[in-house]
Amino acid sequence: MEIGIDSFASAMYGSKTLSSVDAMEQLLDRIVQADQAGLAIYGIGEHHKKEFLDSAPAVILAAAAARTKNIRLTSAVTVLSTSDPVRVYQSFATLDLISKGRAELVVGRGSATEAFPLFGYNLHHYDELFKEKLELLLKIREQEFITWSGKFRPALQNQPIYPRSSQEKLPVWLGVGGTPASFVRAGTLGLPLMVAVIGGETARFRPLVDLYREAGQQAGFSPEQLSVGLHSPGYVAATDEEAFADYYPGYAELWTKAGRERGWPPVTRASFDAAADPKGVLVVGGPAQVAAKLLRHSEALGGVDRFTFQMDNAGLSHEQLLRSIEIIGTKVIPRINNAMAHGEIVKF
């Protein structure tokens, strides 16, 4: 199981607001730390809001590529519905050249919708836009010269797209929430699946993951070609008690605020504890608890190939995040690798 981190480049740490310059520098330092600690992947999201600095993820990832050696660098996610697939491919192919073949993409429709009015798109075309643009993006990564026409973008007539990626086939994952059709789409196309689970019990996604695998096999893809990734909020400290104490205040503040915008109930300590229990979505605790929980999640979903923590949006300081990254690399990943090497199963 590959372990990594996804970031929304937040400049908000509790009640303190960093300058954008300082927040960006600290983010790059954390990516370097993740690389040195042996994490497999670092992802940057895409938002167009004041509290986030990730409106141009490929630029941030390119800066990180120049300072790292091994870690793979990805979007998390690229809101493809409001982006030009030509420019998306060009940006990430350029990142692939800078990083010497370490670039990836996770593309999705976007759970936040601020990009639609910003770039002049109609939310009524939410799925149509994504379907058409995904088709074009996948065609571009396969072919140097493109002839294509669609509804939402000007046609291309034998048009070459440059630069080409260093990797023969730039990896494109499909980011999904809870829509069954999205899981089927990923399977039918044979794309690796990244499932964002931010609430409830992770095991409830098993029927949807099964849909993905069934659709992929029906389309002629082998089980080995159908990778499953999981993205959830989480944080690791030296002990369970320390992790809960560090994480809860900022998590409650953030998700209560988000709840006011989206109609969710406020976060209470009881709801937090439920989310952090062995079956809950929050991957929070000391190294032993977190490793065990990730193995449970993998077992519950029929096998998880990649897990990414979302942990810089809960009021945690830069120093806490750096320590957490180190613990993940030195204590969590070895536990998981050892358990998987010996065929250990953690009952869900």
CATH code of the domain in which 105 resides: 3.20.20.30
Amino acid 16: pLDDT: 62
* Cα 11 to Cα 54: distance, rounded to the nearest angstrom: 10
pLDDT digits (tens, 9 = 90+) for 236-253: 999 999 999 999 999 898
Residues 85 and 7 in one domain: yes
| Whether pLDDT at 348 is above 50 | no
Distances (CA, A) of 319 to 1, 75, 200, 311: 26, 24, 29, 13
Number of domains in the chain: 2
The token pair at 283 is 């991957």
pLDDT digits (tens, 9 = 90+) for 108-166: 987 778 999 999 999 999 999 999 999 999 999 999 999 999 999 999 999 999 999 99
Mean of all residue pLDDT scores within the chain: 93
8 shares its domain with 71 = yes
- Looking at the fold, whether 145 and 276 belong to one and the same domain comes out as no
Mention every residue, 6+ apart, whose C-beta is less than 8 A from residue 187.
193, 211, 212, 213, 214, 215, 216, 217, 218, 219, 221, 226
268 alpha-carbon distance from chain centroid: 26
pLDDT for 25 beyond 70: yes
215/286 same-domain check: yes
Do 19 and 105 belong to one domain? yes
Q: Is the pLDDT of residue 13 over 60?
A: no
Q: Confirm whether 243 is domain-assigned.
A: yes
What is the spatial distance between Cα 270 and Cα 321, in angstroms, rounded to a whole number? 25
**Structure confidence at residue 130 (pLDDT):** 96
DSSP 197: -
Distance CA 195, CA 231 (A): 6
Question: What's the confidence (pLDDT) of residue 313?
Answer: 79
Model confidence over 199-228: pLDDT tens digits? 889 999 999 999 999 999 999 999 999 999
- Pair 166, 216 in one domain: no
Measured CA distances, 338 to 40, 177, 230, 302, 343 (Å): 16, 30, 20, 19, 9
CA atoms of 81 and 101, how far apart (whole Å): 25
Do 240 and 338 have their domain in common? yes
Tell me, yes or no, whether 129 lies in a domain: yes
Whether residue 89 is predicted with pLDDT greater than 70 in this model: the reply is: yes
Domain enclosing residue 139, as ranges: 1-170
pLDDT score recorded for residue 174: 98
Q: How far apart are CA 73 and CA 166, in angstroms?
A: 14
Q: Tokens 């519905």 correspond to what residue? A: 81
